[in-house]
Structure 1
Amino acid sequence: MITLHPGSVPLSDLEAIYRIGAPARLDDAFRPGIAKAAARIAEIAGGGDAVYGVNTGFGKLASVRIPPSDLATLQRNLILSHCCGVGAPLAPDIVRLIMALKLISLGRGASGVRPVVVELIEAMLDKGVIPVIPEKGSVGASGDLAPLAHMTAVMVGEGEAFFAGERLNGKAALERAGLAAIVLSAKEGLALINGTQVSTALALAGLFRAHRAANAALITGALSTDAAMGSSAPFVEEIHTLRGHRGQIETAAALRALMAGSEIRDSHLEGDERVQDPYCIRCQPQVDGACLDLLRMAATTLETEANAVTDNPLVLSDGRVVSGGNFHAEPVAFAADQIAIAVCEIGAIAQRRVALLVDPKLSYGLPPFLAKNAGLNSGMMIAEVTSAALMSENKQMAFPASVDSTPTSADQEDHVSMACHGARRLLQMTDNLAGIVGIEAVVAAQGLDFRAPLTTSTELTNAHRAIRSVVPTLEVDRYMAGDLEAGAELVKSGKLNASVSAGILPGLG
């Protein structure tokens, strides 16, 4: 059980919720603050002053005053009318993270929901009631309205949810789990659907997946360097400390550690006529290190956002209820674009290493396309083409989503962030990246096989063994799709990273 401390939940806890479905609940110390804000909203709802979202309509309809007798209907109507999502359901691991992020936001005690609302989200997480949230419909401003409405619909006994392997209507899913729907009070529907939790959850998932693939690319990059008999001289420490970028320094250190003690490297320290390797070998610290720095920048933004209050209006510490714009997801949109650029570049340089290894003009003695009896066998020819296709697709998707905007809601919401689909595209991009890095793993392992009886380093031998546990050496042409899928899964699962010693690969912190 992860105890959430709103305002200071670390990335490691969020990753555990996402990756392993760790159960989560709020620290009890935050419950009095939640109750205090709810009492303030109840006071306003029973008074005479008009306060947006409490006793008024929404958006362009904010000037419409709602009588006290209709406030519960107002909140229910808000949820039902905003369930306008389309597309495939978001994966359960994403939805669990969305729900945890909503708990964190509500737990700050500035949203005005009753404790029973928080308790139902906690219980749904604990029992495994996962709302069906269509993937499309948010423009990333005024909150992720449509997707969060689908989450909230289950809480009021509407919509759909997955429970125990079945897709059920919301009321049935709650009842099967031994839970009951709630009737929303003043502002509670608005508090639940205002906010950036969907965009943030998608961006965090993209971040976690990108970082895992980035570290796997350090392993495959080192394997490729050895397979191509590349030089490790460009990785010496002082080169990188002279420049000073943290990611570059740490990436170079990882490459040195991965390659330390390689017989292949030692075999060509003397007599190698090549003065310099191509950039995809020589500039790995500069490129992959810059990408690591970019991921860390995005991580800082997303950790802050995960702990933020992003609905509207907010109950301030002095009791005032004030409208603002924390629901605008521009920081998340920028972070998603940063991650997309890093993902694109990690894949681009990895793909060039794949191309180098299959090209006999560049691979320093390896056979064409790493094929035994080349000509009769095509070897890794089309595996390289597939890596190029994945790289190109990521290039097309890397264009910043945050620079796009379109007015919505009768021009009331006239500038939006596009954070939600900017973050969602990271899932496909990181799948593509895992494919590219997985192909490099398969190709580099084949290249190392041709260097026998010379051996690589201890660390890379362990990585090579992990690859060979799922993809055997290519002796003659065979059906390759399964091999490439197995390589990608090594990257996605983290098993390739786990094959090397702890502490070599850089973290996000």
Structure 2
Amino acid sequence: MCSLAHSIFILPEGASLASFTWLKVKPHPSRRRISGLHAEANRSPRKSRFPKILNGEGLNGHDKQVASGKGRVWTDNQPYLSNPSVPLYRGRLAEVTIDGSSLTLQELVSVARDNSTVRVDRKALQRTKKGRAVLEKLLQEDEVIYGVNTGFGALSNVKVAPEDLKQLQANLLRSHASSVGKPHSTDVVRAMMLLRANTLIKGNSGIRPDIPQLIVALLNKRVHPYIPQKGSVGASGDLSPLSHMALVLMGEGRVEYKGTWMVGKQALQRIGEDPVELEAKEGLALNNGTQQMTSIGCLNLYDSYNLLETAEAALALSLEAIKGWIDPFDQRIHNVRRHNGQVQVARDIRALLRSSRMCRSIIKDDPADGRPQDPYSFRCAPQVMGPMIDAMEFVRSTLEIEMNSATDNPLIFPDDRACLSGGNFHGQPISMALDIMGLGLSTIANISERRISALLDASLNNGLTAFLVGKESKPGLASGLMALQYTATALVAENKILAHPASSDSIPTSGNFEDFVSMGPGAAHKSTSILENCQYVIAIELLTAAQAVHLRGGSGLGIGTKSVYQAIRKEVRPLTQDRSSHDDIERVFQLVRNGRVSDLVRRFTKGSN
């Protein structure tokens, strides 16, 4: 185990620190600490040192060289970044400290999926307490404050009596807990809880510190509210799903605890906590925010980084399978255009194909021997896939800002003793970002399907059998992998429908008082479906390319593609006679989804030139 400031990392059994990237990072100006190893990568080699906190303990020879400054690590001096938000360390963070301003993507994923322990920064709790004191002072002065002593939405012109302020907040959560459909998965629920606690401790919500601390206690005891997926329009925030979450704090609603569904009060009793009686504004502070759409977006973004690296592996293996030309990936071509993503994809493909004897090159092969160029889906892949990398950086920036933002209304500004109504709950930034991510993922699947088609087409696959019929079968009598393209085509067609932007739509709500909404949750849900479809399409390409490589003898692969091919072969045997491909697809899909292929890719692409 090694610790880096507030984030503690548990190394997987047998793992070496040499396989991870370590950085010298200037602490965030608001906190003199480094918040985990996540995201800031890594290309040009230079001498550096591990953080002194490691003290060289447990390091192998290479690690000790690096720790002493004699070895080399990869940092971010070069302007072309390699998936800069993908955590190069994929292990569990034992503990995550939240302070309202520095939560990272990796920390969110570790809490959501690996049940990392969450702590609340003491200074953040002091800010929260100060914000609450200011709100109570304003109420004593008989200030009219929206949602605190007034009704909500179109009923905001109704003044609420002081003796009814507590009831107003409880009624808000009960009335707005109206979502429908299947419940969110546990990782989404945990991400929502983490993000809501993080935004409440910024000190701008006017809530008592006890409430975010109770949310954190539920997280750490793994008490997960029942939150149906559908019912939010993304303004004012994710009112309905967050209301389902907040009801549990009152002892109401339903939760999952240790595999059993129960009412909120029963779960609170089992973990030794008492239900809260909401004070003025606290219901509105709990349900007025963008945490549903942001949580889904963050988890999908994390998985999209892994998917994109897997798509690079599929491209590289397909290029070998078709005996394609390596020249379109030459560094000189991409340096004269200089889009970061394009340059990176080309560089990663070169790294994966290093030492390959299956690809052709103008330096050693005669262009007259077969076609002089490959189809666009091979030759132009960096130009098509690269923009997705660039788009994902925009998405990451948007989401990480949102993760650490105050998103309810009204907001308290303790230093100014002010309470201001605004629109930080509006999900348009998230909605547009997730629409862009969905569009990019759809494009990745689209170009992958074109390569699948080429591999199966005897007129394009450079001498292989039609539909890659197995060696013990006859084309016509056997269909080979013909039907795999049908599946890929169906998924791609569905993605094209789903790629329509949710952010372009708006239906007024609350008597036209809330007359323009973001539909951000729709964008989030669409991105989930598009992502899964894309994972399946890439799995089908890997399976198809592996069959083509097998038909060519299975030797002569690049150093990276060889590892990918071997991983596939451990799960799926080559096709010799027709059989159902369902199980084969599902096995490779799991390799894609759980990040095993992207882990292999990272071994060969980090630090590549």
SS in 2 for 1:243: coil
| C-alpha distance in 2 between matches for 1:157 and 1:12 | 31
1:44 positional shift: 2.5
1:120 matched to 2:217 = no
1:99 positional shift: 0.8
Matched residue count: 507
Alignment match of 1:236 (pick from 323, 330, 335): 330
**TM-score normalised by the chain length of structure 1:** 0.97
**Alignment-derived partner of residue 359 in structure 1:** 457
| C-alpha distance in 1 between matches for 2:578 and 2:293 | 44
SS in 2 for 1:17: helix
4+ runs of 1 displaced by more than 3 Å? Answer: 266-269
1:25 positional shift: 2.7
Distance verdict in 2 for CA 1:501–1:73, change over 3 Å: closer
Alignment match of 2:497 (pick from 375, 389, 396): 396
- Structure-to-structure mapping, 1:269-348, within 5 angstroms: 269-271=364-366, 272-316=369-413, 317-348=415-446
**Alignment-derived partner of residue 416 in structure 1:** 517
Check the 8 A contact 1:87/1:135 in 2, yes or no.
yes
1:203 positional shift: 1.3
1:12 positional shift: 2.2
| C-alpha distance in 1 between matches for 2:360 and 2:322 | 13
- Structure-to-structure mapping, 1:104-503, within 5 angstroms: 104-265=198-359, 269-271=364-366, 272-316=369-413, 317-372=415-470, 373=473, 374-452=475-553, 454-502=555-603
| C-alpha distance in 2 between matches for 1:148 and 1:405 | 21
**Alignment-derived partner of residue 43 in structure 2:** none
Distance verdict in 2 for CA 1:211–1:453, change over 3 Å: closer
| C-alpha distance in 2 between matches for 1:15 and 1:96 | 9
Distance verdict in 2 for CA 1:79–1:503, change over 3 Å: farther
| C-alpha distance in 2 between matches for 1:376 and 1:46 | 85
SS in 2 for 1:431: helix
Where relative contact order (Cα < 8 A, 6+ residues apart) is larger, the structure is 1
Aligned-partner residue type, residue 301 of structure 1: T
| C-alpha distance in 2 between matches for 1:506 and 1:407 | 50
Distance verdict in 2 for CA 1:40–1:501, change over 3 Å: closer
1:5 positional shift: 3.1
Check the 8 A contact 1:251/1:506 in 2, yes or no.
no
1:37 positional shift: 0.4
1:505 positional shift: 6.2
| C-alpha distance in 1 between matches for 2:214 and 2:394 | 34
SS in 2 for 1:277: coil
| C-alpha distance in 2 between matches for 1:5 and 1:452 | 56
Q: Kindly report the root-mean-square deviation, in angstroms, between the aligned alpha carbons of the 2 structures.
A: 1.6
| C-alpha distance in 1 between matches for 2:602 and 2:234 | 41
**TM-score normalised by the chain length of structure 2:** 0.81
**Alignment-derived partner of residue 101 in structure 1:** 195
Which structure features the higher share of helix residues? 1
Check the 8 A contact 1:89/1:135 in 2, yes or no.
yes
Gaps of 5+ in 1: none
| C-alpha distance in 2 between matches for 1:436 and 1:19 | 25
Moved more, 365-374 or 81-90: 365-374
Gaps of 5+ in 2: 1-94
| C-alpha distance in 2 between matches for 1:47 and 1:445 | 73
